[in-house]
Amino acid sequence: MHISKMGVGAAVRVSVVAASLLAGASWIGQAVADPVTLTWGMWVGSDAEKAAWQHVADMVTAKYPDIKIELQTASWPDYWTKLPTLVASNQLPDIVSLQSLRTPGFASVMTPLDDMAKRDNFDVGAFDKSIIGGLSSDGHLLALPYDFGPLLVYYNADMFKKDNVPVPKEGWTEDDFKKAAKTLTHDQQYGFGIGGVDQVISWISSAGATYLKDGNLDITNDKFAAAFQDYVDLVGKDKVAPLQAASGGAQLGDMARGSFAAGNIAMVIDGPWQLINLKSSVKFTIGLAPVPAGAAGSITVTAGSGFGISQTSQHKEEAWKALQILTGPDAEQYLASQGRAFAARIADQQYWYKAAAVGVDNAEAGMNAALKGTVPYITTPNWNTVNNLFEQYEPLALSGKQTGAEVLATINKLSAQ
């Protein structure tokens, strides 16, 4: 009735205006955006850590009020048990935290970030190159890094002083290392603490050996076997490192670190991420140094962690925005000043020195020297299994029950399953 009174022309005008208003409204709606809650899976070892991550998550909401982040946390060992179950049940969080070593294993469920980075002119070069490599697979970047670090030597400066041994420094060789360890091994204390596959790879790399061939695990080659035997002999033959049980939730390196913290071991190899926790629990001065140089120099591997977007995420664009904040300069500065991360962003690494490294001997010198000899830690998709196999079988070589070559052959066979 109304239309016939108003006339068709008027009706058309009204509907055109209404349509454009509606279109305009929805456009405005998209610009303002419906609030999105992203889920973010991350490992935490304490309430303090969780608070730190929450702080960083809040930074995202501060910049983008319509993006909220819900943290889904698990303890470090459990995180890797849970992740495949989440994949299996299609429950992957939007933002998935990944460690570089395990990235190839989960590559198939992560969204490659290269296109989005290129489209938005995101400067990937601001991050250290080795960790970008570590978080990539098949040439695609799968996660933006927040921290990384080379494996380097932690030493007990007090023990070195007491036994009058010159502290490790740039350019020191494996011979220097063994000599120092021997002098430091007496009574109930040892010079060195053995670690698992990470430290092994570092050691054999310095010896000039390789562990990959065409992307597949190759640990039975002669050079690797010889270097590995050299490493395990530190326990069995040279007796400068104690035999420790790899058990409980603790990995081989964990027990060594525990003994180091207790003041029973003079040197361990570990990453900078341990520094803040170690410092707070020890009663001596810690020092840092690069790994001893083998035949090929002082080569070490770097590992680190970052955040990626799952393939199944319904909010990839929002997640990408969030990622940029989570690994942005402000977040990196915060995390580094907390000592929680040796920033992957090169420019923010200084904050780590100002925080975590305070009171540590030769922190900057040691780190710089270590960083000079880093290679990216390339892993195979079944690295979780390989890691676990080293945990299980390396002790057999350490106790001398089997030779290094035999252990490597077993690990090789079992990892191929």
Partner 1 sequence: MTSPPSITGAVSRRRGGRLWYDSLSALGFLAPGLIGLLLFLVLPLIASLVLSFTNWKIMGKTSFIGLGNFSQALTVDPVFWQVLFNTILFTIEYLVLNIIISVGLALALASLRWGKQFFRLVFFLPTFAPLVGSSVVWLLIFTPGGFLDWVMAALHIPLPNLITDPSWAMQCVVIVSLWAGFGYNLLLFGAALESIPQQYLDAASIDGATGWQRFWRIKLPLISPSLFFGIVLTAITSLQVFDQVYALTRGGPGAATQTLGYKIYRDGFISYNFGYASSIAWILFVVIMVLTAVQLGLQRKWVHYDA
Partner 2 sequence: MPEVREASAARTAGSVVVHVFVVLLAVAFLFPFFWMLSNAVRSNSEVLAVPPRLLPSEWQWNNFIDALSFLPFGRFFLNSIAVSLAITLITLIVSSLAGYAFARIRFPGRDSLFLLYLSTLMVPQAVIVIPLFLLMSRLGWVNTYQGLILPVAFGSFGTFLMRQFFLTIPRELEEAALIDGCTRLRAFWSIFLPLATPALGLLSLFTFTGQWNSFLWPLIVVNGTDHSTIPLGLTAFQGQNGTQWNYIMAGAAISMLPGLALTILLQKYIFKGIAISSGFGGR
Binding site for partner 2 (CB under 8 A): 43-50, 71-78, 81-82, 85-86, 88-91, 188, 242, 248-250, 254-255, 257-259, 261-264, 273-274, 276-278, 281-283
CA 112 – CA 45 distance, rounded (Å): 28
104 binds partner 1 (CB under 8 A): no
In the bound state with partner 2, the residue whose beta carbon lies nearer, of 50 and 63, is 50
DSSP state of 257: H
- The option from partner 2, partner 1, none interacting with 262 (CB < 5 to 8 A, set by class) reads partner 2
Q: List Cβ neighbours of 132 (8 Å cut-off, separation of 6 or more).
A: 124, 141, 145
Which segment (66-74, 179-187, 285-293, 385-393) binds partner 1 by CB under 8 A?
A: 385-393
The letter for the amino acid at 295 is: A
405 binds partner 1 (CB under 8 A): no
Q: Residue 118 CB, nearest distance to partner 1 (Å)?
A: 26
Which residues on neighbouring strands pair with residue 192, listed in sequence order?
A: 267
399 binds partner 1 (CB under 8 A): yes
Answer yes or no: are the C-beta atoms of 339 and 355 closer than 8 Å.
yes
393 binds partner 1 (CB under 8 A): yes
For partner 1, the binding residues in 56-95 under the rule CB under 8 A are: 81, 84-85, 87-88
In the bound state with partner 2, the residue whose beta carbon lies nearer, of 122 and 284, is 284
Q: Residue 249 CB, nearest distance to partner 2 (Å)?
A: 4
- The option from partner 2, partner 1, none interacting with 178 (CB < 5 to 8 A, set by class) reads none
With vertex at residue 310, the alpha carbon angle to CA 308 and CA 312, rounded to the nearest 5 degrees, is 165
- The option from partner 2, partner 1, none interacting with 108 (CB < 5 to 8 A, set by class) reads partner 1
CA 308 – CA 92 distance, rounded (Å): 11
354 binds partner 1 (CB under 8 A): no
DSSP state of 362: T
234 closest CA partner among 285, 263, 199, 198: 199
- The option from partner 2, partner 1, none interacting with 106 (CB < 5 to 8 A, set by class) reads partner 1
User: How large is the angle between the packed helices 404-415 and 222-236, nearest 10 degrees?
Assistant: 120
Residue 387 phi/psi, 5° resolution?
-55, -50
382 binds partner 1 (CB under 8 A): yes
Query: CA dist 185 to 152, 242, 397, Å?
Result: 20, 10, 21
Residue 357 phi/psi, 5° resolution?
-85, 5
Which segment (288-296, 323-331, 357-365, 392-400) binds partner 1 by CB under 8 A?
A: 392-400
- The option from partner 2, partner 1, none interacting with 50 (CB < 5 to 8 A, set by class) reads partner 2
Look up residue 351 and give its two tokens: 């904050």
Residue 56 phi/psi, 5° resolution?
-65, -40
Answer yes or no: are the C-beta atoms of 113 and 309 closer than 8 Å.
yes
For partner 1, the binding residues in 195-234 under the rule CB under 8 A are: none
Answer yes or no: are the C-beta atoms of 335 and 56 closer than 8 Å.
yes
Among 248, 280, 283, 359, binds partner 1 (CB under 8 A): 248
Which segment (162-170, 210-218, 325-333, 406-414) binds partner 1 by CB under 8 A?
A: 406-414
Which segment (30-38, 164-172, 292-300, 397-405) binds partner 1 by CB under 8 A?
A: 397-405
Runs of H (alpha helix) within 246-382: 252-261, 275-281, 316-326, 329-337, 349-355, 363-372
In the bound state with partner 1, the residue whose beta carbon lies nearer, of 337 and 410, is 410
Q: List Cβ neighbours of 19 (8 Å cut-off, separation of 6 or more).
A: none
- The option from partner 1, partner 2, none interacting with 84 (CB < 5 to 8 A, set by class) reads partner 1
Among 74, 167, 296, 396, binds partner 1 (CB under 8 A): 396
Residue 348: alpha-carbon gap to chain centroid: 17
- The option from partner 2, partner 1, none interacting with 410 (CB < 5 to 8 A, set by class) reads partner 1
277 binds partner 1 (CB under 8 A): no
Question: Alpha-carbon dihedral of residues 317, 322, 325, 327, nearest 10 degrees?
Answer: -100
Binding site for partner 1 (CB under 8 A): 81, 84-85, 87-88, 105-106, 108-109, 188, 242-249, 255, 264, 382, 384-385, 388, 391-393, 395-396, 398-399, 401-402, 410, 413-414, 417
